Amino acid sequence: MPKLTRRHFVLSGMTAIVSTRMRSARAPSRSPNRPLAIASANRVTLPDGTVYYNGIRATARAFELMRAGSDPLDAVIAGVTIVEDDPNDMSVGYGGLPNEEGEVELDASVMHGPTGRCGAVAALRYIKNPSQVARLVMEETDHILLVGEGALRFALSFGFQKQDLLTERARQVWLQWRRERSERDHWMQNKLPGALRSALPTLDWAHMTGTINCLAVTEAGDLAGVTTTSGLAFKVPGRVGDSPIIGCGLYVDNDVGAAGSTGWGEDNIRVVGAHTVVENMRRGMSPLQACLDALRRIVKLYGGRPAHQVNFYAINKNGEYAGAAIFKGAQFAVTDARGSRVEDSAYLLERPPQ
């Protein structure tokens, strides 16, 4: 067996940035990089101008727990719970933007690689941590998805506390949206009038479909994932996107890898995106190639002129990872032995069609 020099050891630990354009996208060469956690990285802007990325908090916590020996599902749920509890983050949990009637409806899914089990909740009201309820669905029932009033009763039966999830800041955004509505509004496009944008300049309007997906692989190679969201801002009550649908907003196969999504959920449902990404990796694609292929399927649905942003995130069993989006400008969070950071996602198109 060849002697492992210090130089070889250092080189074997190096990682390459996966961000690149479609025409030049190639899988980075990377030796096993475990433990590892990745997540979407919505930018949160506070009224005082302070900016932070929600995904960094999630991945840092998940990585810390895995280094201490935690199960990967424990780790990712603990990570996103920080985000669900944050009233300043209007994309997830407490403080999430409401539906068109001013009520916050939350969706979440979890999947555990070692057992292959999963659970989810959708249109859940009054409970700020849907990811934890989704796990209980997985562990305490033989069901996978609970919705609406049934999901709420289930959560309350396990001791979750009912509370108003609409913060004053989110309520003011919703009220302004109502004032600006007109017969020209179109639910599918979720148009946001210019007056609303100018009245609330500190909001990051690019993330009105905000969600957090967090994926992890342990040092031993076990995988898990979670996706949690308050869904599309000002949606029709009862609307459910891809986040709580296993195979769409989240999929994990412990022999292969894990994938998740954020962005316009309806488009992702049409290609069963997370499952497609994992199956691509099963056939030998790198995480980056797998994500880009799934995105191309969405673009094809629109004849090459997609209307909405969709983002995929993926890791494989070796600790290779990627983030990719339809349009330029997306980012994702990573925490591994090199620390926590935000990286640019690969992309297919420079900008949406005019």
* Helix locations, the chain, DSSP H: 6-12, 54-67, 72-84, 130-140, 148-157, 168-180, 194-199, 265-271, 273-282, 287-301
211 labelled catalytic: yes
Strand, coil or helix: what is 253?
strand
Task: List Cα–Cα distances, 167 to 104, 172, 214, 310, in angstroms.
Answer: 10, 9, 24, 27
Distance CA 185, CA 8 (A): 60
Residue-by-residue DSSP string for 178-225: HHH--TT--TTTT---HHHHHH-TTS-GGGTT-EEEEEEE-TT--EEE
CB 239 within 8 A of CB 99: yes
Candidates 199, 237, 229; CA nearest to 213 is 229
Q: Which of 15, 20, 59, 211 is catalytic?
A: 211
Active site residues: 211
